[in-house]
Amino acid sequence: MKYVLLICDDEKVSPSNDELEADPVHQAWEADLERRGAELAGARLRPIVDATTVRVRDGETLVSDGPYAETKDFVGGFVIIECPNLDDAIAIAAGHPYAQWGGVEIRPVWE
């Protein structure tokens, strides 16, 4: 099974890439992915102040500042993984540091 993990939080805690690299929880998460050979791709995203949303309505392109959804939590990164089943995906997601203050949404890839 392929899953996309959406790493979400409210952006109140916003560690730099260097800080995240130095976080032992993050290191353990990376080691876990490595051990499982589960990661296919992944990226950290800039905060929503840098986001731009595009909608096309009646042929007109509408560009607006900010994220698509007006919610409390935002996607701050994603990882595409391949693993045997949802229980493994849950175990992987639970190891991500953002799971401790934000949340990780597991979405099966529509293939």
Choice from 84, 94, 100, 101 touching another protein (CB under 8 A): 84
Q: CB-wise, 2 or 11, nearer to another protein?
A: 2
Look-up: residue for tokens 């080691």? 31
Q: Phi and psi dihedrals of 73, rounded to 5?
A: -110, 150
Residue 40 engages another protein in binding (rule: CB under 8 A): no
Give the whole-angstrom CA distance, residue 49 versus residue 18. Answer: 20
84-25-70-110 Cα dihedral, nearest 10 degrees: -10
Q: CB-wise, 3 or 74, nearer to another protein?
A: 3
Give the whole-angstrom CA distance, residue 92 versus residue 111. Answer: 21
Q: CB-wise, 75 or 81, nearer to another protein?
A: 81
Choice from 1, 13, 31, 40 touching another protein (CB under 8 A): 1
Residue 35 engages another protein in binding (rule: CB under 8 A): no
